[in-house]
């Protein structure tokens, strides 16, 4: 199905349905219990702490929690502890740190500082034998197995699954929990969606917007980062509500947009923005759940609309890896990058 000898990144993408099945079998109960714990805690706010793809996963959690439960979720820079040494001053709050490697000293510093400040701390981490794990009260495995490719894919998907599960436990949303159980088979179908050759058109653009809103905004950020990392394309993510307030001025020539649809309340606003972009002659590639949107990229419906972004990012990963190879790149060795970047 991949049309070329498989890169490590491609193999890891192809493994996602099985990896998620293992993850759910081993740790879904832990995630739901963490959600139940938050439900009982009734925190005044949640603090998230993460970098790169993990920060995009935290953004997904922010939208679920804020739009459905109303609890403020604050993404705090690790520098608050690692550079400024500032205690956190709040009452009845929790911190959730998300990381693949768990090796960054700055994330561990914020996690420790939060614990000293009286917050309950949770590390959602793929490497459970890491510095970050040691600094948190509670360790939740991401459970994606070792990730060898520089560009994170399966750990991002498993982070979304874990955070959706924590949210589902907190919200006691039985429909969502049921849909999470069905994710492995849904993701296997999502993996069949072929967004090439439409994607090849994007490669000719000087720059790209990646647009969504609500639960979809997190995968817009993730897709923009992957375009950069694996294809050298300057893609930037925007909320469909924000892109017309200034950023669109850059899209005068040789610019394109990729828009992720949602099947929930934010959906109509995204379609409206697509209309404005097309009026401004910006070529738009869109995913759609409606057969009426001709030429849209095919998507797989999850068994719950809040899980649709997880299916879409898997279809995206397949396409962006293919595009990287087609452009003559090596997605396993992105320019100027290594797997672990240490920041203080």
Residues 165-204 that bind a second copy (CB under 8 A): none
d(CA 237, CA 211): 6
Query: Is position 87 an interface residue for a second copy (rule: CB under 8 A)?
Result: yes
Query: Is position 80 an interface residue for a second copy (rule: CB under 8 A)?
Result: yes
Q: Which residues contact 200 (CB under 8 A, 6 or more apart)?
A: 323, 326
Count residues contacting a second copy (CB under 8 A)?
71
By CB under 8 A, the residues from 94 to 123 that bind a second copy are: 106, 117
* Shortest CB 165 distance to a second copy, Å: 21
Query: Is position 84 an interface residue for a second copy (rule: CB under 8 A)?
Result: yes
Nearest of 170, 213, 209, 171 to residue 308 by alpha carbon: 213
Choosing from 79, 138, 182, 301, the residue that interacts with a second copy (CB under 8 A) is 79
Query: Is-contact 319 310, C-beta < 8 A?
Result: no
* Shortest CB 221 distance to a second copy, Å: 11
Query: Is-contact 57 99, C-beta < 8 A?
Result: no
* Shortest CB 6 distance to a second copy, Å: 21
Query: Is position 258 an interface residue for a second copy (rule: CB under 8 A)?
Result: no
Query: Is-contact 76 111, C-beta < 8 A?
Result: no
Q: Is 319 exposed, middle or buried (0-12, 13-18, 19+ CB in 10 A)?
A: buried
Query: Is position 51 an interface residue for a second copy (rule: CB under 8 A)?
Result: yes
* Shortest CB 149 distance to a second copy, Å: 12
One character per residue 14-43, x = contact with a second copy (rule: CB under 8 A): ----------------------------x-
d(CA 135, CA 118): 13
By CB under 8 A, the residues from 202 to 231 that bind a second copy are: 206-207, 213-214, 225, 228-230
In the complex with a second copy, the residue whose CB is nearer, 29 or 335, is: 335
Q: Which helix (H) or strand (E) holds 74?
A: strand 73-75
Q: Which residues contact 31 (CB under 8 A, 6 or more apart)?
A: 140, 162, 165, 166, 169
By CB under 8 A, the residues from 263 to 322 that bind a second copy are: 265-266, 269, 280
């Amino acid at each position: 199905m991949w049309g070329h000898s498989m890169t490590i990144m491609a193999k890891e993408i192809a493994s996602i349905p099985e990896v998620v099945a293992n993850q759910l079998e081993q740790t879904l109960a832990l995630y739901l219990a963490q959600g139940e714990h938050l439900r009982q805690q009734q925190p005044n706010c949640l603090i998230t702490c993460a970098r790169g793809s993990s920060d995009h996963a935290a953004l997904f959690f922010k939208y679920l929690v804020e739009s459905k439960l109303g609890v403020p979720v604050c993404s705090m820079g690790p520098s608050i502890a690692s550079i400024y040494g500032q205690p956190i001053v709040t009452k009845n709050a929790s911190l959730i740190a998300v990381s693949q490697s768990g090796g960054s000293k700055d994330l561990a510093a914020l996690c420790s500082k939060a614990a000293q400040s009286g917050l309950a701390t949770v590390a959602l981490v793929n490497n459970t034998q890491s510095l970050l794990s040691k600094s948190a009260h509670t360790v939740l495995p991401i459970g994606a197995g070792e990730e060898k490719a520089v560009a994170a894919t399966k750990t991002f998907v498993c982070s979304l699954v874990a955070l959706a599960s924590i949210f589902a436990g907190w919200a006691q949303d039985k429909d969502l929990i049921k849909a999470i159980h069905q994710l492995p088979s849904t993701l296997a179908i999502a993996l069949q969606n072929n967004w090439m050759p439409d994607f090849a058109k994007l490669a000719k653009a000087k720059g790209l917007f990646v647009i969504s809103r609500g639960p979809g905004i997190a995968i817009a950020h993730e897709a923009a980062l992957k375009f950069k990392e694996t294809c050298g394309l300057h893609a930037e993510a925007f909320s469909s509500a924000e892109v017309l307030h200034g950023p669109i001025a850059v899209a005068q020539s040789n610019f394109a947009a990729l828009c992720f649809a949602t099947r929930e309340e934010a959906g109509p606003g995204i379609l409206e923005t697509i209309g404005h972009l097309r009026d401004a002659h910006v070529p738009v590639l869109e995913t759609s759940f409606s057969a009426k949107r001709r030429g849209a990229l095919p998507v797989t419906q999850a068994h719950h609309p809040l899980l649709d972004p997880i299916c879409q990012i898997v279809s995206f990963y397949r396409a962006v890896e293919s595009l990287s190879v087609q452009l003559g790149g090596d997605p396993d060795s992105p320019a100027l990058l290594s797997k672990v970047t240490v920041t203080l």
